[in-house]
Amino acid sequence: MTNPLLQTSTLPPFDRISADCVQPAIEQIISDNQSRIKELLSEKDGFTWQDLVAPIETLNDRLNQAWSPVGHMNAVVNSESLREAYNACLPLLSEYSTQLSQSHELFQAYQSIAQNESFLQLSAAQRKHIDNTLRDFRLAGVSLAKDKKQRYADIKKRLSELSSKFSENVLDATQAWTKQMDRPEDLAGVPDSALAAMQQAAKAKGETGYLITLDFPCYFPILTYCENRLLREEVYHAYVTRASEIGPYAGKWDNSDLIDEKLALRHELTQLLGFESYAHYSLATKMAESPEQVLAFLNDLAEKTVPVAKQEYAELQQYAQEEFGVQELKAWDVGFYAEKLRQNRYALSQEELRPYFPANQVIEGMFEVVGRLYGIQIEEQKDAVTWHPDVLFYQISLGNKLLGQFYLDLYARNDKRGGAWMDECRVRRCREDGTLQLPVAYLTCNFNGPVGGDPALLTHNEVTTLFHEFGHGLHHLLTLVDVAGVSGINGVPWDAVELPSQFLENWCWEPEGIELISGHFQTGEKLPQAMLDKLLDAKNFQAAMQMARQLEFALFDFKLHLEFDPASPRAVQAVLDEVRAEVSVVPTADFNRFQHGFSHIFAGGYAAGYYSYKWAEVLAADAFSRFEEEGVFNADTGQSFLASILTQGGVYEPMELFVKFRGREPKIDALLKHSGFS
């Protein structure tokens, strides 16, 4: 039988991909690619785009078409056999990538193209791709001595393995802990929607009553609404000790040693390349120019945020004491009493909003929002092959012109990694034969699915999450760039890549946008004006506390990588405690092991880059302020954002694109205004 991963296809054949076909396919493609690159380099002394770069892009795309669905399935339908196949390929891919990026012969071939007078005749996208590739050769140590190259390769291979293991530990630890409960009175206060999901989870496991898990759609309502304080503490304790040396499964999936090893290896790698720290190395491909600039930015935000956050927390303490007699708020109390205060102040909860945000109406309204902004049409395609029955598939068009396609996987389930993300399945590029490959994206969330005969009902927070990921998706799907390396999200500096996602969130808060995305699941009634007013009034409830929390994560990440000293490495917990002393206003339990589940920086791409969320939030708030001035559905403004930002990929520097759209460089004022404490 032909290996499906070795066949060219417009979309992945998910129904035919099995674990046993993964490693043979990856090995074959890597071997084929190595042979072909050797041929390309031996053909002539002078090289051009057409006889070197374009063929290598084709080779890269073939590998991506095979590996992308494998990596995605490992995250959303994880199994032991697939995990083994995935992990077996990681060192192969790491070795192959390092071999190419350290090939001096290949580096010289690209350099000869850049130095040829015909270089200026290439398109801006082609030139940028070559410039980025030459930069990446240098960042991969192409000029290192042979022994140092080997050490670099060994480190990259090991870092890849550690990332995968970290993610696996978090997933396994999250899914291992459950608590079955029979008495509904022990879950007093928990919304009916969450209780129904817990009953459904119990039934799926062959159990009675209610099954509590650490998946966020279950964890959050327990911590936010459950009146059973001991249960809140138990669930909180299990959640914040996941994958650590303490807690219900102490040491079983412990990420402690992985974190230490990863930090040491990252530092050693950057020392090989001549960087002062991993933070310096990280910024070599980002918008920010120096660690000092990043720290100044974060500290400036902290100066404006922390005093307001302290005031917000003092109000919460006072409320809990006066209304409920609580003398000391614990970490597992904060969300519960914050929700009580929110309801007392605004008479509105996220649960009251759920009936007005059925998933199908939100999706339809979201498509209408972007249709008005960018003139695009989005239609579901019923016949697509997917990895799970819940997954939807859509096409984006402009008139009769197909622009791209995407999968939408909304609901939490067993063997699916938590969180929400967008990833590429196919990248837009011009093939060697002149035909165009259109982009395809994966959009993944983890909401509670339909229960009984009712559709999935989303909180407004979940609606915002969906808009965020769809913003990423549009950045990838609406590109007009035909060079893979700088098409869509590729080549975009990490601290600018969150701009389109955070930007789109704004329409979740605009009355004109809410009119489109709301509709009671039983009556179709739009969100009533009284509830809309309360929602908007509550928008910035404890906004400073939330921002202080994000600043805590960003400063912890950046300082951890900036200040690492292999001669006397500080305990990771000590670094986190120090940052918390500076910016945190909410109590943290001594047993909290947040870092052990911080997948963004230990299993994702945000190491020494988590500050990107706040950096890009400044850009997003300022960009949206133009819509506030000209009309939130002003089609001309929408077309300007589309043309200036969304279609441009990574061809031009983000600041250049922002100035093109906004007419000036970004200011922090809009973010502070939108956050309600300017």
Instruction: Verify whether residue 469 is a known catalytic residue.
Output: yes
- Which residues pair with residue 576 across a beta bridge? none
> From the candidates 57, 469, 498, 552, which is the catalytic residue?
469
d(Cα 252, Cα 654) in Å, to the nearest integer?
Answer: 44
Q: How far is it, in rounded angstroms, from Cα 107 to Cα 98?
A: 13
CA distance 520 to 358: 7
- Contact between 220 and 533 under an 8 Å Cβ cutoff? The reply is no
Considering only CA atoms, give the Rg of the chain.
25
What SS3 class is residue 496?
A: coil
- CA atoms of 138 and 155, how far apart (whole Å): 16
List, edge to edge, every strand of the sheet that includes 440-447.
377-380, 392-398, 401-411, 440-447, 421-426
Closest CA to 615 of 235, 248, 300: 300
- Euclidean distance between CA atoms 18 and 25, whole angstroms: 11
Q: Return the axis-axis angle of helices 256-272 and 572-583, rounded to nearest 10°.
A: 90
399, exposed or middle or buried, with CB in 10 Å at 0-12, 13-18, 19+? exposed
- Exposure string of 478-512, with b = 16+ CB inside 10 Å and e = fewer, is bbbbbbbbbbbbbbbbbbbbbbbbbbbbbbbbbee
At 350, list the tokens.
């996220």
One-letter amino acid of 209: G
Using alpha carbons, select from 442, 396, 387 the residue that is nearest to residue 419: 442
- Cβ contacts of residue 253 below 8 Å, gap of 6+? 168, 169, 170, 172, 173, 176, 242, 243
| SS3 label, residue 405 | strand
* Alpha-carbon span 288 to 608, nearest angstrom: 11
How distant is the alpha carbon of residue 82 from its chain centre?
Answer: 22
Comparing CA positions, the residue from 482, 458, 456 lying closest to residue 403 is 482
Separation in Å, CA 515 to CA 504, 512, 675: 16, 5, 22
Count Cα neighbours of 635 within 13 Å in the Cβ-side half-sphere: 5
Helix (H, G, I), strand (E, B) or coil at 588: coil
Q: Helix H segments across 520-631? A: 529-537, 543-562, 572-583, 599-602, 612-630
Query: Which residues are the active-site residues?
Result: 469
